[in-house]
Chains A and B, each alone.
Chain A
Amino acid sequence: MFEGIPLHWFLILGTIMFFVGIYGFLTRKNLITILMSIELILNSVNINFVAFNKFLYPDHLEGMFFTVFIIAVAAAETSIAIAIIINIYRRLVDIDVDKMNKMKY
């Protein structure tokens, strides 16, 4: 079903997605949007894993399992992050990352 698609296409796609995520991570102010950028980054990595698995080691399933686990970890991470964000929101009535510097020094 995927004949004719070189591996490099996937990798280029993953790279672009990854750095778009990085850009978002660096510029966004709202914590939830930062979280979304992280999801982008994770997703780009997933694409790479899956592509490598299919193109280089089609006999095994390592890449796929890695992706499954990453998805699981991402789910856990998101739930915790959102719990924290809600907590912060309760305290500060704002989730602007620039204002979260109470624990410096």
Chain B
Amino acid sequence: MLERIPSIRKAPDEEYYVPGHRTCAGCGPALAYRLTAKAAGPNTIFIGPTGCMYVANTSYGCGPWRVPWIHAQITNGGAVASGIEAAFKVLARKKKYQGEIPHVIVFAGDGGAVDIGLQALSGMLYRGHDVLFICYDNESYANTGIQTSPTTPYGAWTTFTPAGPAVPEGKKLFPKDNPKVVAHGHPELKYLATASIGWPVDLMNKVRKGLNAEGPAYLHIQAPCPKGWQFPPNKTIEMAKLAVQTGMFQLYEYENGEYKLSVKMEERKPVAEYLKLQKRFAHLQPEHIEKLQAFVDARCAEVGITVPAVASAR
């Protein structure tokens, strides 16, 4: 069993995601990877479906992981992980493997988890494999130059959803809520949570809970992307915090049909305070921001965040 990490100071020193990767300066997903690897420890196997965290980390012919890592196609992270987990089980049963069964973690982007990779994720959860599937959500196909994905927020500019006279808000669709998709259709699921790189101790503990669960677990991590969201690379943590403080992203664990909130909030900030710091939302008009605020209010109410959005006094 992996123990709970009480604070930043008590977090383990050891790094299993080491310096030397071609991720952006200020990369949110890279920090998510580092914290996940730190929490999981040395007896871990990572599966890396195609995405930034495959391509940027492995250019060229090398990688920053101290633990085993294998590439999967963007479609099949869940399937590759299922095979690895099942193989260890069989080898252990036949006494051909006697060590401790390693933690098996899929580290997929929103493309590899919510969109192209959804069927393999769902199959893995349905069959009950003892795997932690992590989605690092940077809200676009960032690796190929920022195309829209199902988790791209309403109103965001991407190269596939440019704002213009015909479609002034950029992206017109509201995002797919993958924790919800996962939660309600998979009876074997043992643990489900969302996390943010703005709350690193909470994130690491959710990784550990997911790994301690005997069966499939799903962790959805919001990880801001300075390239795709168009903000300066030193603001990555601020964006992560604002996402939660505005309710754009909600931090919770989902247990026995109930949302258990991870962060206490006295009030919410209006989404406008989050949007104005990212150039991907620079084109939005007041009516679009209103529409997004209403969407966020409704989703917050659904998970039990009842505090209202209040503009900060200036």
> Does B associate with A?
no
Binding site for B on A (CB under 8 A): none
